[in-house]
Amino acid sequence: MQRQPAVAGQFYPVNENKLRAELSRMMPDNISRKWVKGVISPHAGYVYSGAIAGTLFSRIAIPDTVLIIGPNHHGTGAAAALYPDGEWLTPLGAVSISSRLNSLLLQHTPYIQSDVIAHQLEHSLEVQLPFIQYVRPDVTISAICLGHGDYAALRDIGQGIAAAISEYGEDVLIVASSDMTHYESAASARRKDEMALERALALDGKGLLDVCHSRGITMCGVVPATVMIEAALGLGAHQAELVAYGNSGDVTGDNSQVVGYAAVAIS
């Protein structure tokens, strides 16, 4: 199974040389890298959120295997869709799926099932991959696309992921793909995002899910972020850091309706 790029040429350059040049610009290489268990990384077009994601990926160590978890923006396919064995293509080349991690995820994680349909058009996982490839070209990945779920189900998925990674026996970085508040003023977005990020930085997955629902915070990847936090806790995480925050208005100059972007590292 080979997953073709769905948004190359839209969210990021389709030309390999142009993509490498853009990644080089967004990812300074003179920063010491820190080992972490999980991150929240934005997934808008690189012109908008690439600097936030680049700051994150330039500061963390990328192990041999990465699990990317993203929201299902299109509502197609399985509710908890694991991309089957094979490879993903980007302009930087092919990335192999970790068949061993995939097998363990299916074994340990409730609700997860192999499914291609949910991944075909989904950009939230795809846009993370060039950053990861740029740092570690030989990386292998697993990819999960998630729809909605209540906290109990998301906790179970997170704990299953932790069990799978523990049996895998090697370092695995968990990338939760999410933008923050959508289409509000920069001031309103910041206020709402601070409430969500407070819970994420406290490693409170339930609190993050609850505050987004109760305060109308349109964090599109709150489900992947909640799952990542639960998995990281199961793997011994004890602290979190806000690496960067911004919004689309920082690029466009229009602060009347922005999308917020945050980079969080959990170790």
Q: Classify 213 as helix, strand or coil.
A: helix
Q: What is the CATH number of the domain that holds 163?
A: 3.40.830.10
The tally of domains found in the chain comes to: 1
Torsion of CA 214, 219, 225, 227, to 10 degrees: 50
135 phi and psi angles, rounded to 5 deg: -80, -40
Helix (H, G, I), strand (E, B), or coil: what is residue 181? Answer: coil
> d(Cα 64, Cα 86) in Å, to the nearest integer?
16
- Contact by Cβ (8 Å): 140, 67: no
Q: Collect all residues with Cβ–Cβ distance below 8 Å to 18 and sequence separation of at least 6.
A: none
Q: What is the pLDDT of residue 207?
A: 98
Q: Where are the alpha helices (DSSP H) in 109-140?
A: 123-126, 129-135
Output the pLDDT for position 1.
85
**Residue 190 near residue 259 (C-beta atoms within 8 A):** no
Collect the ranges in the chain with pLDDT lower than 50.
none
Q: What's the domain range around 31?
A: 2-266
Helix or strand holding residue 17 (H, E):
helix 16-26
How far apart CA 175 and CA 154 sit, in angstroms, is 15
Could you tell me which residues are beta bridge partners of residue 81? 113, 145
Tell me the per-residue pLDDT of 161-177, one tens digit each, with 9 for 90 and over: 999 999 999 999 999 99
Which pLDDT score, from 0 to 100, does residue 113 have? 97
The pLDDT of residue 28 is: 81
Alpha carbons 173 and 163: distance in angstroms, whole number: 14
The pLDDT tens digits of the residues spanning 7-32 come to 999 999 999 999 999 999 999 876 78
Task: Copy the structure tokens of residue 63.
Answer: 């192990």
Supply the pLDDT for residue 96.
98
Task: Report the DSSP beta bridge partners of residue 177.
Answer: 41
